[in-house]
Structure 1
């Protein structure tokens, strides 16, 4: 099985990397560069193997499309910084993007060969009380279980939901206001109950939200990702939930750890443990397809750390940390 890594290309990286993953042992081997691309910091696969990446071309920023064998298809770029998040909508044959620096949500149509064309975009407005919230910063754009497009705006403390037409046109529906200065970054949905888990970068919390469908959220719980006695810098990054909805995982950059939670009867969260990631700046991580392992990518120490995961308790044990991927900030497995 192959696992793919998005990276920054500010130091040693040249683009998108891959490695072989042994599903039995959890070991990685044969790390290699598979596509040259400037700062491909987030990746998303379609079911046919097409890959969509944060991309840049001739000093312009946006998104890049590749075939299943990673032959470049096209770039859709414009003035300014590239995107920071990419997601595929198989049902509508669309791709969504979030642009942090421009406070923008974008929609692209997948053409017959897998290449992209822009169909719509929306620019957020507003700000927040934190020094990093002078303007909107859209950090996430992906689907809710009922196929609305949900966006997390770190700059305005908002989760804004859109209806999307089959032609890729946006219609704003609802706005959820997170706690002031929280900095919403990513969101995941419980597979069986009407709840979502919103990870907030700036105050190192997860907001547990009741999701009643149609884009409406209501806060039920706020829980920290850090030990109560930690006083240093931290910014959260990724959040994942297991397929059975029983465990949630969140990464801390600064504290350099993974927080592990179990979901209780009402799907609220209870902290199980906070484990060091054995690297610097764990920006992204992924559960293996069978969820027996968890792979953590470190942006500043360039190592991929693999944890064995105990299914009954959700607890993690580090088993390997010697594979190097330069400036890794995204870990993803292709879709089944």
Structure 2
């Protein structure tokens, strides 16, 4: 994509992106619009954040933390850990000097998440909430003012083990609870845990005081989803004009996106309309009842203006897709708009830049990160030509907040 073909004036400053891989890779990338992307060679932290880093939650250098931090979860099957990154300076020009822009702080061996397979997290105040996928639990970690976990009795985390009455019918994926996401509401009053195994979203009333561990026993309710749908990831949108809050959910096993209106007082998620498929009408999902469908959804993002919602689709035989939904700004409902080819296979994760101009899409199977430009009017996505290959089992590609 040339600068003349952008539907906006491309920024002159570069963007910083972090890619993680199940091979132990933690790789900073520098994207310079319109079409240049390179690995920051001296900034790589490979094998410094565990064997399977897969998710990073960034802070923005605002209260209560003065510096930009990144919390990296490493997906050990039984003993998951989280590592703390601190940004010392702005990303360096490529080629960089010998001084890396990021470093691991605190315990170099990481901090226990009191569960197996931590796949996602969120920061609310001085609390880090973690979803432990394999153990189906939510962990809460108290953070000091420097952002480093504070241990009590030798343990950094308190954990809530979900005990559900029943699980879903997709037996190989839903034999017990599987916590796949931890997301805070826009007002910070609630944290939600997507339970793929139980077809539920669990609600936690977030602690407003200093002791995060108080919130772990304040699960107030759960939102029940359709049987066998497999809720995976949740994202919120706060309409500042109406002061209403909305939430959008990808259901991995149903390949759908569901819209909710969020009640900040009770924490309730009230469904809007019906779940909408992420594939064009008539497209088979494949697979079977025991193993689940061949086509599944994964990540989602909402445009800054709230007009579009984007979802990644996996399982195509040739090349996977990003689905574009149009969002009704009056009632929060959604409708399928189109899908575009993602530039690789198995887009496990993608992220949208803060200004809404660019997408970074991580393809686990093909091991590449592809940058798309986004038309703010139509919502359409177009390849910029910027791409990094050879990232083994890449699981995450996140824009670092500026």
Aligned partner of 1:29 among 12, 23, 38: 38
Q: Which runs of 5+ in 2 are unaligned?
A: 1-14, 61-66, 88-101, 287-293
1:84-99 alignment, distance < 5 Å = 84-89=119-124, 92-99=125-132
Q: 1:79 to 1:195 in 2, by over 3 A?
A: closer
Conserved? CA contact 1:27–1:306, under 8 Å:
no
Give 1:82 deviation, angstroms: 3.3
Q: Tell me the TM-score normalised to structure 2 length.
A: 0.77
Q: 1:288 to 1:194 in 2, by over 3 A?
A: closer
Which residue number in structure 1 is paired with residue 58 of structure 2?
A: 45
**Worse overlay, 145-154 or 225-234:** 225-234
**Helix, strand or coil: the match of 1:106?**
strand
1:1-336 alignment, distance < 5 Å = 1-9=15-23, 14-22=24-32, 24-30=33-39, 32=41, 33-36=44-47, 37-47=50-60, 48-55=67-74, 60-68=79-87, 69-74=102-107, 75-77=110-112, 81-89=116-124, 92-116=125-149, 117=151, 118-126=156-164, 127-131=167-171, 132-147=173-188, 148-165=190-207, 166=209, 167-168=211-212, 169=214, 170=216, 171-192=218-239, 193-213=244-264, 214-220=266-272, 221-231=274-284, 232=286, 233-255=294-316, 256-264=320-328, 265-320=330-385, 322-324=387-389, 325-336=391-402
Q: Which runs of 5+ in 1 are unaligned?
A: none
**Worse overlay, 191-200 or 48-57:** 48-57
Moved beyond 3 Å, runs of 4+ = none
**Structure with more of its chain in strand, by fraction:** 1
Distance in 2, matches of 1:289 and 1:143, equals: 18
Conserved? CA contact 2:36–2:386, under 8 Å:
no
Distance in 2, matches of 1:276 and 1:97, equals: 31
Q: Tell me the TM-score normalised to structure 1 length.
A: 0.92
**Worse overlay, 174-183 or 228-237:** 228-237
